[in-house]
Structures are given as structure tokens and as C-alpha cells.
Homo-oligomer: A and B are copies of this chain.
């Protein structure tokens, strides 16, 4: 057993043996083997590589967003050789991937979530994953050849441009980047931001949502999605956005301006007015991928917390942190919440496998809210265990927190999902009310059958003023 992999007091227990029992029937033998390979690759190769990756990025804004760390290419080569490539594309819908179900990939993604480099190294990094799904599902043969193939091969990267700075993007009908057809071209004008991955110099294709038919009476028909090569004239990356102090270089989150950007009509995906159809298919799996990786990140935070609690050099008031009851309480609560979060994510993945993203709407929304809360609480406690070391560059915790924090916002803030969940559940309100009333009516009948007069538990029937009523 490699020292890089020991994960319990009994040494190394493989990932495949730690799958929750309830999920096991859904995991093929091949997936189990791959899962163990993924864990090994992440723990032995990727996590150690993370430090190198950070060192290979420059320090000034411009350097950081033009560097391309060599180690990522070396990891990609290793991953390809191991067969750990394009794991995310669900076998039910795509022939291009590694042939796993969402559930199986979900188990793997947990481990990818423990390393900065692992998702990209296995070509499973957002936003490429969702973009590849869009292209594979809706792209023309030409579009696939030009963009999907190099993406699948890890040669180029991509961005998904939807959110805009000047509107409430949590409601996508507000998206307003102008798309105007002129001859056989579409002309784009407007601004996008939070274009994740746009900072990467290898990012060559943007999938852009805009408003092509602003006067359509059906609000869900006004939008289109179009493919825009990153080097099309008129596009400027104005600035990168920071996330709780981090720039997430070299990928980053771009604020991009479109000034009369012209794209051939053949770049339209599916045809004008089909924007909503496309993004709805895209967002579901993405949310699950985020959630899966977040479970892994939470485990990592808990591992770091436990490591600190065993640090012999850190004995406030003469006791190891692990001898302080409050710390053990937090460990236990983290354990409970993470295990519960994992089950919810796996159940959602299976629901997608058995229906599709739309069929798993409720389950996806649930984990969208549940998982980041668990993640952030765990990281927060881990930070606190480390004291000042926990907020600085000496642990990965602060950076993890910044990423976890955005999970409560990306793809719609929690509040939107909660509102939607609440409304859907509320649809059952009348049914519950009428059932409860029907049951009460039956109670009344039964009372009669049993010859009982209905009495209140505290029946008094007294004339007020204290005297008993006849």
C-alpha cells in the first residue's frame, strides 16, 4: 500500500469497498475497478501535482491568464493511458464517453473533487463537460467535427456564456445580449460575465446564449444559443472576476464584451428560439457534477480537520484537539451530513439515469441546496480547527471555501431553487387538506359506530363565571 493512499487506521480501504450499500446494485464491476483507479490517480498523482500546478502559474494578472501549466498535460497523458478519460459522458445518451452511468461517474467525481488538477486531467472539467454534452446532443456534424472532437480529445477548451451583469440572471428570460441576423450572419452585441474558463488561453469556443427574437410573445422562445469562436473580432475580455479573493487562474471567470461580433448562421445550435431547450438539458447534469465533487471536497476538509486534530505539536491547554469534546462533536456532525449528502447525490444521479435531467428536477434541486451547505459548514469547522493557518495559503481550505461558496450561487442561487421546490410541493397542499378532512369525517362516523359522542380532551362546557353548565 502506498503511503500516499492510506486512509484509515487499518491502512488503505479502496473506494469500491466504501460505496454506500444502497448504491451498490447500480455499480458495474468495471465501474468499481475504474473507481479505484480514479482514487489512486487522484491521491497519488493529482493531489501532489496541485502544488506544482499552482507554482507554474505566474503572479501578475497577465501572466496568470496566459500561462499553461505543463503538469496538466503530463497528467492528461497519464489519465488517458489509464482509461480515465471523458468519464462524465453518460453511457445511456452518449457513445463518445467512457461508458459509465451518471451514478457511476458520480462516485468517481467525488474523488476528482479532492484535487484542483484532477477534473481537467481526466477531461471532466466544467464547463467543457456541459459544453461537450450540448455539442454531442444538439450539434451538427460540422459543429461536432470542428469543436466536439478537439474538446473530447482535450486539445482545446470552451466556455459557456449565459449570465449577464446588468440583469437578474437567476431568471434566464432576462438574458438580453442582442443577436441580430444580417444575411447569413448573426451579429452579437452586449456583455457577459462569469464566463468560467474564458481566461484559459486554450479556450477556443464560446457557447453563447442571447436574445434573437425579443418580440416573440412566448418568453421561452426569444432566446438562441450560438457557437462563437473565441478569436472572433469584436470580443474583448475586459477583466477577470475574483471569487472571495481568488482569481481561479488560469481558467478564471471572464467579463466579456461583444461589440458587433459576427458569426455565420451555421453556428446556431438547433435553430433560432431554441435556447431554453438547450440550456435546460445542459444545466441538470452540471449541477450534479458540482454536487458530486463537493461531496469529495467536504471529505477532504474533514480529512484535513482530522489530521490537525492528531497534530502532536498543537496541544492547547495540554490536550490534543481530538481530546476536546467540541471538536469530536463537529467531526461527528460533519460525518453525518456528508454521508447524507452523498446519498442524496447518488439518488439524484440514478434518477437522471433512469429518466433524465428533467425527470430528476426535484432531486437535482435538493442536492443543489443541500450539498454546498454541508461542504461550507465542514470547511468552516476545519478552518477553525487550524486557527489562523486555516484561512491562509498553508492549507487548501480557504480556496475550497471560495469555490464552495459560489456553489450556492452558480446555476441559480439557492433561493430560486428553494422557491421552486416549495411551490412544487405546495401543489399538493389541497390534496393533503382534503385527505385530512376526509379522514376526520371518517373519524366522526367511527365515533358514532362505537357509540361515542365526540368530546374534546379538555371539554369544560361551563358557563363562564365559574359555575358548571347543566
A462 touches B236 (CB 8 A): yes
Interface string of A412-451 (1 = CB under 8 A from B): 0111111111110111111111111011101101110010
Let me know if A268 is at the binding interface, CB within 8 A.
no
Query: What residues of chain B lie closer than 8 Å to A469, measured between beta carbons?
Result: 236
A347 touches B458 (CB 8 A): no
Within 8 A of B (CB), among A1-35: 2-9, 11, 20-23, 25-26
Query: A73 CA to B468 CA in the complex, in Å?
Result: 24
B433 touches A241 (CB 8 A): no
For A429, give its contact among B309, B316, B408 (CB under 8 Å): B309
- Interface stretch, picked from A81-89, A90-98, A160-168, A278-286, is A160-168
**Given A244-B391, A245-B244, A325-B324 in contact, is the A455-B43 Cβ separation under 8 Å?**
no
Query: A341 CA to B238 CA in the complex, in Å?
Result: 41
Query: How many Å from the CB of A420 to the closest CB on chain B?
Result: 8
Interface size, A (range): 35 or more
Query: What residues of chain B lie closer than 8 Å to A383, measured between beta carbons?
Result: 405
Q: Copies of this chain, how many?
A: 4
Query: What residues of chain B lie closer than 8 Å to A331, measured between beta carbons?
Result: 421-422, 425-426
Query: What residues of chain B lie closer than 8 Å to A306, measured between beta carbons?
Result: 425-426, 428-429, 432-433
Closest residue of chain B to A462 (Cβ to Cβ) is B237
A439 touches B43 (CB 8 A): yes
Query: A405 CA to B204 CA in the complex, in Å?
Result: 38
Within 8 A of B (CB), among A166-196: 166-171, 174, 193-194
Closest residue of chain B to A307 (Cβ to Cβ) is B433
Query: A236 CA to B460 CA in the complex, in Å?
Result: 9
Let me know if A239 is at the binding interface, CB within 8 A.
yes
Let me know if A343 is at the binding interface, CB within 8 A.
yes
Let me know if A266 is at the binding interface, CB within 8 A.
no
Closest residue of chain B to A334 (Cβ to Cβ) is B425
Query: How many Å from the CB of A202 to the closest CB on chain B?
Result: 8
For A468, give its contact among B62, B240, B462 (CB under 8 Å): B62
Within 8 A of B (CB), among A132-186: 163, 165-171, 174
Let me know if A370 is at the binding interface, CB within 8 A.
yes
Query: A450 CA to B70 CA in the complex, in Å?
Result: 9
Query: A65 CA to B452 CA in the complex, in Å?
Result: 19
Query: A6 CA to B47 CA in the complex, in Å?
Result: 52
Query: What residues of chain B lie closer than 8 Å to A9, measured between beta carbons?
Result: 427-428, 430-431
- Interface stretch, picked from A121-129, A290-298, A392-400, is A392-400
B419 touches A454 (CB 8 A): no
Query: How many Å from the CB of A15 to the closest CB on chain B?
Result: 14
For A307, give its contact among B340, B423, B436, B455 (CB under 8 Å): B436
Closest residue of chain B to A49 (Cβ to Cβ) is B446
For A432, give its contact among B7, B330, B405 (CB under 8 Å): B7
B340 touches A344 (CB 8 A): yes
Within 8 A of B (CB), among A378-416: 383-384, 387-394, 398-399, 401-402, 405-406, 408-410, 413-416
Let me know if A459 is at the binding interface, CB within 8 A.
yes
Query: What residues of chain B lie closer than 8 Å to A414, measured between beta carbons?
Result: 384
B454 touches A55 (CB 8 A): yes
For A415, give its contact among B65, B326, B409 (CB under 8 Å): B326
Query: A389 CA to B87 CA in the complex, in Å?
Result: 33
Query: What residues of chain B lie closer than 8 Å to A247, measured between beta carbons?
Result: 458
28 A-B pairs whose Cβ atoms sit less than 8 Å apart in the complex: A3-B435, A3-B438, A4-B438, A7-B432, A11-B431, A21-B351, A55-B454, A65-B462, A168-B387, A202-B466, A231-B465, A236-B464, A237-B464, A241-B388, A242-B458, A244-B244, A244-B398, A256-B464, A307-B436, A325-B327, A326-B329, A327-B422, A335-B421, A336-B370, A340-B340, A340-B341, A343-B344, A388-B406
9 closest pairs, A vs B, by CB?
A245-B245, A328-B422, A231-B465, A325-B325, A201-B466, A310-B429, A332-B421, A48-B442, A307-B433
